[in-house]
């Protein structure tokens, strides 16, 4: 039979390269470079367990290799002493693994409880999973935003999470482990970043066609920048757009082409109740869109508005058959939503 083999020696360089990609430094989704206390606690536990496993590996393999050579059969060599049923040895290899497991279990359980506890003075933010993007609400400030989670640096944040449709999973590798977003049930996750920085998030549970494009960003700001951000987010988008400008035309496209069916812009079209698409009030302030799958720039917006499903298969955003002129106007208007 001529079965195709997955691994061939001539492909070794390819496999080695793939393997080496795991060693890239400063990768945005690197779970081995924690940037906050929660992620660091998990990291510490990982390394403790890792080094214990390394010790076990070398002791067991060492004993095996030693036995293979020292007790190998040779002409004239008597059979080595048999140890089957030796009580002392049996006790030893029962007790030692118990001690090793205890050495791992105690800090593991402590970490689980530490990570689950609600931190004092934490900022509360709601995270709602949608196919395929994350929505964020700040109940203390009355803010609704999407894709980019903005948090104050060096301050604990308590996420209260659920899903609007199917199972999702919230994961910011540099700030904490994963946590499920469940329809009809709340789950909680703590985040804290040491300093102002940008982190990547990813949905960690297969949730449909565009699961891999359900990404996010976490932006941690220093206290002053965060307060400015909050104050700006509280403003609505009801500002004068000089008549005849492209942006004013774009606002008419937003109001009349069908966008308002799903997208709220506070002060312009703010229907009460939950909508299935991101709130666009401060769209221009976010550096990514479409579930953080795309950088927020004119080129990407043009592609997206012309045919959303080409970029995110299965997306609920319909192709509105907008003309090039309408798309250009809409992008000019979106640019004013700061």
**Interface residues toward ligand CUA, by CB under 6 A:** 129, 132, 168, 203, 205-207, 211, 214
Least separation in angstroms between CB 198 and ligand CUA: 21
3-state SS, residue 133: strand
- CB of 123 or CB of 294, closer to ligand CUA: 294
- CB of 80 or CB of 183, closer to ligand CUA: 183
The single-letter DSSP state of residue 123 is E
Q: Identify whether the C-beta of residue 245 lies closer than 8 Å to the C-beta of residue 217.
A: no
3-state SS, residue 135: strand
Least separation in angstroms between CB 273 and ligand CUA: 23
Q: Which two tokens stand for residue 75?
A: 């002409």
- CB of 41 or CB of 145, closer to ligand CUA: 145
Q: Which residue has the tokens 């997206």?
A: 304
Q: Identify whether the C-beta of residue 133 lies closer than 8 Å to the C-beta of residue 212.
A: no
> What's the rounded Cα separation, in Å, for the pair 252 and 249?
5
- CB of 208 or CB of 335, closer to ligand CUA: 208
Q: Please give the C-alpha separations between residue 140 and each of 214, 278, 286, in angstroms, as whole numbers.
A: 26, 20, 21
Least separation in angstroms between CB 132 and ligand CUA: 6
Least separation in angstroms between CB 175 and ligand CUA: 18
- CB of 132 or CB of 138, closer to ligand CUA: 132
Least separation in angstroms between CB 328 and ligand CUA: 32
């Amino acid at each position: 039979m001529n079965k195709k083999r997955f691994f061939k020696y001539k492909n070794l360089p390819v496999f080695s390269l793939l393997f080496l990609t795991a060693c890239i430094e400063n990768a945005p989704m690197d779970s081995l470079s924690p940037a906050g206390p929660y992620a660091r606690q998990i990291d510490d536990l990982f390394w403790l367990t890792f080094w214990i496993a390394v010790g076990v590996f070398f002791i067991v393999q060492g004993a095996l290799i030693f036995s293979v050579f020292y007790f190998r059969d040779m002409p004239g060599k008597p059979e080595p002493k048999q140890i089957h049923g030796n009580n002392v040895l049996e006790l030893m290899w029962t007790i030692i693994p118990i001690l090793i497991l205890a050495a791992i279990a105690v800090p593991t359980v402590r970490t689980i409880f530490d990570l689950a506890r609600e931190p004092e003075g934490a900022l509360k933010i709601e995270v709602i999973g949608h196919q395929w993007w994350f929505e964020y609400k700040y109940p203390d400030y009355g803010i609704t935003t999407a894709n980019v989670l903005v948090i104050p640096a060096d301050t604990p944040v308590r996420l209260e999470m659920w899903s609007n449709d199917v199972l999702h999973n919230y994961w910011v590798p540099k700030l904490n482990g994963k946590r499920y977003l469940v329809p009809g049930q709340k789950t909680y996750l703590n985040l804290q970043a040491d300093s102002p920085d940008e982190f990547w998030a990813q949905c960690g549970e297969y949730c449909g066609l565009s699961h891999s494009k359900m990404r996010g960003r976490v932006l941690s700001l220093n206290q002053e920048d965060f307060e400015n951000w909050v104050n700006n987010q509280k403003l609505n988008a009801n500002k004068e757009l000089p008549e005849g400008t492209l942006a004013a035309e774009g606002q008419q496209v937003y109001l009349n082409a069908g966008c308002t069916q799903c997208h709220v812009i506070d002060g312009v079209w703010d229907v009460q109740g939950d909508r299935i698409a991101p709130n666009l009030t401060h769209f221009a302030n976010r550096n990514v869109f479409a579930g953080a799958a795309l950088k927020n720039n004119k080129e990407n917006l043009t592609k997206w508005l012309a045919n959303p499903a080409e970029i995110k298969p299965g997306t609920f955003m319909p192709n509105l058959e907008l003309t090039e002129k309408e798309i250009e106007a809409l992008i000019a208007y979106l640019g004013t939503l700061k």
